[in-house]
Amino acid sequence: MKVLANDGISQSGIDALQAAGFEVNTTTVAQEQLVNYINEHQINVLLVRSATKVRKDIIDGCSSLKIIGRGGVGMDNIDVEYAKEKGINVINTPAASSHSVAELVFAHLYGLARYLHNANRDMPLEGDSRFKDLKKAYAKGTELKGKTIGILGFGRIGQATAKVAIGSGMNVIVYDPFIEEANLELDFFDGQKLNFNIKTISKDSVLKQSDFITLHVPAQKDYVIGANEFAMMKEGVILVNAARGGVIDEVALVNSIENGKVARAALDVFEKEPQPEVQLLMNPALSLTPHTGAATNEAQDRIGTELASQIIDILK
């Protein structure tokens, strides 16, 4: 059996697959060459992350495929139902990267709250000549403790984010159209555990009450946050999108920054990946990362071993 990990896979995943007798290929094949490559090498398992798209042309054109695997949660880059109709197994790793994304959200939140994204730009250029001016400019930070964080989308990643927020002393309010409540178990270094029951509320209530807002929703047709939603938010809200590009209206976001409704925001995902709008890249109110929510060594190890386990269960 042959596996093509077109967007890469951790060494732990490779080791597990090879130990089970699979041949693992980590060549990165260009999108337009995938069908030919898969057929030429008779690939049985195609593993992708977010870069490679698996549409009908690949599904129809590659008769050797038995499994399509997504290293991560969202599968909007795969025609899932069509693949299943054709008898191909489609797998993903919904739990493996949840905590990594949650930590990135808070890396952005802490940075935005204390203007670190601006200070890290200015200090190398002017730290020696304008130290006192910069100190004064960035001396009005805020603490997260005691503030209200609104979480839109309360699946695995939303719940992982809520756990970090609780540990940071924040008041957590959440909205999810499919979940009424969730029980969160927080594990501590000394073996202690605490349980928190979180009930969801309306989207409007979350928007109106939150000092900080973070999105953890799948890709969808319409914006989750557009001009109307921004209008409901508190003045000076701080926002993070580490979910999917296209769930926030980026034009409305820039407008809301300019009129003061949004103080600062963070984007890990963009409507036009991999070429985000220049207006976003140059905006000093934005903290930006290049879609690295799940990009930790620990998450990639978990993703690799989880994919390997599922593949072995299906094909062995």
| Active site members | 244, 273, 291
CA distance 281 to 275: 10
User: Tokens standing for 214?
Assistant: 């973070």
Nearby residues of 181 by Cβ (< 8 Å), 6 or more positions away: 197, 198, 199, 200
Q: What's the CA gap between 308 and 221, in Å, rounded?
A: 32
Residues 6+ apart with CB under 8 A from 1: 21, 22, 23, 44, 45, 315
Q: Which amino acid is at 149?
A: I
Nearest to 238 by CA among 153, 160, 140, 148: 148
* 250 vs 280: CA distance, rounded Å: 8
**Cα separation values, 193 from 119, 121, 199, Å:** 37, 40, 20
Q: How far apart are CA 282 and CA 253, in angstroms?
A: 14
